[in-house]
């Protein structure tokens, strides 16, 4: 029996604001959408193992994506030449095809 691959669907949001005590704050947030995801939460597991900063660096297109709903997928797997075990990988955000378009802030359709 073949194991099912995990599906991790996330919402990407960007927030920027200025605070006189903190300065300019610019943040990108990936939030797991539990009802659309299934299997192991590899985002939580990898963040616990290597840290959030390193995990964010593994996502090759994090800074070029617009806010929206995405599927986080594994890409660029490399394998150990001797054992064949996957020893490194990257992630990529792919637009979720089942996501409904986000409404515009002004209420106008795009």
Domain ranges of the chain: 8-95
pLDDT tens-digit readout, 67-106? 999 999 988 778 888 888 877 889 999 998 775 555 444 4
Place of tokens 């594994």: 74
Give the gyration radius of the chain's Cα atoms. 17
pLDDT tens-digit readout, 25-56? 999 999 999 999 998 898 999 999 999 999 99
Q: What is the pLDDT of residue 103?
A: 46
0.75 surpassed by pTM: yes
Cβ pair 60, 71 in contact under 8 A: no
Distance CA 36, CA 8 (A): 8
């Amino acid at each position: 029996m073949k194991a099912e691959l995990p599906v991790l669907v996330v919402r990407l949001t960007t927030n920027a604001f200025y605070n006189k005590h903190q300065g300019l704050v610019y943040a990108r947030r990936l939030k797991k959408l539990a009802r659309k995801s299934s299997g192991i939460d590899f985002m939580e597991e990898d963040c616990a193992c290597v840290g959030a900063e390193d995990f964010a660096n593994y996502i090759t297109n994090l800074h070029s994506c617009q806010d929206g709903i995405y599927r986080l997928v594994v890409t660029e797997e490399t394998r150990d030449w001797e054992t064949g075990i996957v020893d490194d990988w990257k992630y990529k955000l792919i637009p979720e095809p089942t996501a409904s378009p986000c409404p515009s802030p002004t209420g106008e359709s795009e």
